[in-house]
Structure 1
Amino acid sequence: MSTTIKDIARETGLALATISKYINGGTVRPQNKKQIDEAIRKLNYVPRNTARGLRSSKTYRIGLVCGPPNNPHNAFLLSKIENIMRAHGYSLTFMSGDKYKEHVNKFVPHMLRSGIDGLIITSFSLNQDICSAVEHAKIPVVELEEHSNFHRTDYVQTSCTSGAYEIVEYLIKMGHQKIALVNGSPASYTACERKKGYLRALEDYNIPVNPDYIIAENYANDFGYQAMQKLWNLPERPTAVFSANYTLCLGIYEAIYSLGIRIPEDLSVVSFDDFELSMLLSPQLTAVRQPLAGLAEQACGLLLRRMNGDYSDFPRTIRLKPECIYRDSVRDLFSDAK
């Protein structure tokens, strides 16, 4: 016999109304939320969406468009969003943008025709025609990280500008002035925000901007490799490089190894994004850690509220603060000069 919310109530000792409110996207106390989530996992509770859908005209499916799932950043967000939405009775229809934007432009209309109650878009920007089609379908949308061409929508992001500023300021305080930036596309909102933080730090410390030290094209691994090769062939090499994301950093490290560059003796390296590999590298990588769990929770929470008709604070922008993790990949030039 399948588990019901009565079983959840017996397991948690909470009222049926509280459990029903939470499962249907309502806000409950944090302690109650924790108890319900634990009971759902323990009892393998799956809401009976067919009956619910007949009563409410809902499909209990949401769409998710994001970057390639072989990237640990995207993989974490995908897993976290799926787990949260499943706990609230929603299945996930997933599409990876990867390098093939035309696939997304075909698949999003397919999502709409098949029936979804809401859409989360992360690490990807949709074109104007697709945004118009989604708006015409009158379903709620939450954008996570990147901005698309929607007229108005909810938006959740790490405060990229402040994270980039803090990590570049750290390099400056360690004596570096020749600081390079390897960044994503100028059309990317997150890339623009990270560049803004980089430039603001240089400006605040009266360090001239060297255009040769700013290389921006996309967030791909191979571009990181090419950019590092280009930087090391400059007549005046940088003493530090700031990688704007994890995938770029992998390419940068590949080039560093092939060129025989020593970290941090020859070059200091910092990155936006922090994963397990940062601690496995030798020396360990100094990086900006994004609050990925918080991003997913905020995006799902907003979407659940909108799907349940709560537009009291629409459109809302939420920015979460990142954390800089200081390790051993930065050389202290001031100490060396003593």
Structure 2
Amino acid sequence: MSQSAAKTVLQNIFTFATIVAQAETPAVTLWNEESVIRALQWASYCRQLADRLCGRQLAITLEERLKEMSHLMDNHFLYNLDLQFLAQSVTILIEQCLTASRSELQFSTAVTVHMNILKDRMKSCTVSHDDPMVKEHGRLLMENLTLWMEADGSERCKIQIVKIAKRLSWCSTGWNILLMLMAIDMSKIEESKKNHLGHVINVIVSWFTEETRALGPACPLWRADPVLLASVAQRCTCFCEFYLSALEQQMELLEVSYSSQSTCLQYPKECSYFWRSREKPDIPLYAVILQHFLHLLQTEDGVVKKKALALVSLKTKCCVFSAWTDLAKDLIRNLAY
């Protein structure tokens, strides 16, 4: 199939999707059996088409169609199908870019498709960074950036990835991308040079420090992958110091927030952007912080483990926050000895 013919097929498929979504009774039309089957066939056709198109042309085609369908983003059924197709298509594109040594421009264009999906998804006031589709697409984006980093590894590539991560700082995906970048970068640094890290690493640590101080409990860092955080802390002395300091600061904020009338953390009003009304975390922040300590105490680095244990022990002895104290005592009893 030629690229022009493929584009025509793709246009016809998206036209069908638009007709279905704009039906007078979309709820009935979308959820009857025939429409569901047709929509699934549409997604299947798109995936097959992605196999035939390659390089920058696919990314451009996807972006063109995405813009045409931007008004459908609130339709969760079609949106989710569209998201699955785009995620798989962009993954195919990135693999093709790597195997065929295509240009950075082509790779960046593919990543842009992921970014646009996330940005458009967040336009809805009812969606937060805990939204399942945001998390899933963030995971796919992170996998693709990891491929890019491992294939390129240049300082310029790292700086580009840092920029992408900062644009996603409202959700844990942005923080996970930065941590992944640090972990890959530091795995190539000799043990004797752990305290003399490159420019990109210093920029990341500085930004982490600023954001955690500014946002406090609402900082998405605390929803980032604690395994990644512990891994980076184990490899990077300066990040370990920052990480433990940030954990201690959060515990102090918890103590201030705690009141005998309530066992739930009261989030400040300025954090409402991050914890929207229907998406407030079920797990209290003190339990999240304990999870971070759990992974620090399970690292193979004796120095990191000792520092984390000392901090947990200290806070357990002087903290008036009873829920924290009980959990911390259990943690120390199960892991420390």
TM-score, structure 2 as length reference:
0.28
TM-score, structure 1 as length reference:
0.28
In proportion to residue count, which structure has more helix? Answer: 2
Structure with more relative contact order (C-alpha pairs < 8 Å, separation 6 or more): 1
In proportion to residue count, which structure has more strand? Answer: 1
